[in-house]
């Protein structure tokens, strides 16, 4: 996401990233970053909680207005009401992604994922 | 590159003391934390681009870009079969999401998140209604006519950076968008 943001910014559009993994987004190097400690799949908040969603969006867009230089990094003060375990538990019946199934069968390939050595397969853009 | 929801079982180590107030890995399991930390450490940001806001936010046209893998039901889904064939691959294309699209018009094609939250309320991942409300309040100028979605599980970003992002930038400029907010998933 940060890489896309850089391309847009370089093409003349002012951008801000909301990020649930601000460490990673910050490492990529982005013009404006709003970090939030919310669980994956719910970056703006809970479904049908319009007031909280609007507060997160407003705070994110405020970074657009306030930033005067690149690498502006803001931590949004919102607190998720559940523990991480409970937040994850809500999605425990979701089918596991293919990479997880592959790594269960071939755990040594975890080293590739860790090191970023992504195997290419003939005929596919990876 | 974004979200690798690893479900492998690891013994949980003592919690790292984060230097920042937000623990970026709070909602991730141990394997995903280790991978994300390693990926972060390898980034070389170089010069960070910066485009100052061209006008006050209250006069800006604003677009949203989600990485939740949202596609309209009358559009092509993100290619999940391709990822099943090669789990190291992810569909790096983009979809246009016109303003006014709701959860009734879309599906989320992203196998690394729980799609049900965004499919029950699209504003959880692509807050177009909230943006419209902020525009009515006068906080932002107006929502762009078109918003965009990518699918966030992209381990090799070459196509994303060289083709997809420039194509989205062209369309944003064509609709005279001043500012964009990128929303993770």
Domain range list for chain A: 2-82, 95-126
Which residue has better confidence, A122 or A1?
A1
Confidence class for position B3, pLDDT limits 50, 70, 90: very low
Same domain, B37 and B87: no
Does the residue B20 lie in any domain? no
Whole-model pTM: value is: 0.91
Looking at the predicted structure, is the pLDDT value of residue B13 above 50?
A: no
Q: By mean pLDDT, which of B38-52, B77-91, B121-135 is the weakest? A: B38-52
Which tokens hold the place of A21? 């993994």
Tell me which chain A residues have a C-beta less than 8 angstroms from the C-beta of B133. Answer: 50, 54
> Percentage of chain B surpassing pLDDT 90?
75
Does the residue B120 lie in any domain? yes
Encode B29-67: b = buried (16+ Cβ within 10 Å), e = exposed.
Answer: bebbbbbbbebbeebeeeebbbbebeeebeebbbbbbbb
Which tokens hold the place of A56? 């997160």
Same domain, B37 and B79: no
Residue B152: the pLDDT is 96
Residue B28: the pLDDT is 86
Does the residue B161 lie in any domain? yes
Domains held by chain B: number: 2
> Which residue carries 């390898």 as its tokens?
B42
Parent domain of B79 = 58-183
Q: By mean pLDDT, which of B5-9, B129-133, B175-179 is the weakest? A: B5-9
Same domain, B96 and B166: yes
Same domain, B35 and B100: no
> Cβ separation of A50 and B35 shorter than 8 Å?
no
Residue B117: the pLDDT is 98
Closest by Cβ to B49, choosing from A6, A17, A121 = A6
Confidence class for position A16, pLDDT limits 50, 70, 90: very high
Same domain, B98 and B169: yes
Does the residue B173 lie in any domain? yes
Angle at B121 between CA B116 and CA B127, to 5 degrees: 120
* Nearest C-alpha in A relative to B18: A23
Please check whether residue B180 is in contact with residue B64, taking contact to mean a CB–CB distance below 8 angstroms: yes
Does the residue B110 lie in any domain? yes
Which tokens hold the place of B106? 């879309």
Tell me which chain B residues have a C-beta less than 8 angstroms from the C-beta of A116. Answer: 38-39, 42, 155
Which residue has better confidence, B57 or B5?
B57
Q: Render pLDDT for A33-88 as a digit per residue (tens, 0 to 9).
A: 999 999 999 999 999 999 999 999 999 999 999 999 999 999 999 999 999 999 99
């Amino acid at each position: 996401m940060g890489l896309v943001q850089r391309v847009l910014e370089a093409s003349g559009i002012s951008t801000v990233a909301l990020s649930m993994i601000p460490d990673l987004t910050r490492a990529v190097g982005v013009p404006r970053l709003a970090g939030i400690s919310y669980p994956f799949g719910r970056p703006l908040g809970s479904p049908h909680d319009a007031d909280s969603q609007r507060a997160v969006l407003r705070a994110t867009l405020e970074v657009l207005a306030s930033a005067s230089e690149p690498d502006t990094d803001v931590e949004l003060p919102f607190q998720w009401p559940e523990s991480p375990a409970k937040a994850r538990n809500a999605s425990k019946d979701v089918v596991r992604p293919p990479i997880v199934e592959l790594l269960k069968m071939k755990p040594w390939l975890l080293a590739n994922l860790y090191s970023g050595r992504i195997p290419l397969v003939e005929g596919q853009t990876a | 590159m974004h979200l690798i929801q690893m479900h492998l079982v690891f013994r949980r180590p003592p919690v790292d003391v984060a230097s920042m107030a937000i623990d970026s890995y709070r909602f991730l399991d141990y394997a995903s934390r280790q991978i994300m930390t390693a990926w972060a450490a390898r980034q070389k940001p170089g010069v960070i681009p910066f485009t100052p806001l061209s006008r006050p936010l209250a006069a800006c046209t604003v677009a949203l870009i989600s990485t939740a893998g949202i596609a309209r039901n009358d559009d092509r889904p993100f290619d999940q079969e391709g990822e099943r064939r090669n789990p190291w691959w992810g569909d790096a294309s983009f979809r246009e999401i016109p303003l006014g699209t709701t959860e009734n018009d879309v599906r989320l094609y992203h196998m690394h998140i729980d799609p049900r939250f965004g499919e029950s309320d699209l504003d959880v991942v692509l807050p177009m209604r909230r943006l419209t409300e902020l525009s009515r309040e006068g906080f932002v100028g107006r929502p762009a006519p078109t918003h965009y979605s990518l699918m966030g599980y992209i381990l090799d970003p070459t196509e994303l950076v060289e083709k997809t992002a420039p194509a989205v930038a062209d369309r944003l400029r064509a609709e005279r968008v001043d500012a964009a907010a990128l929303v993770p998933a």
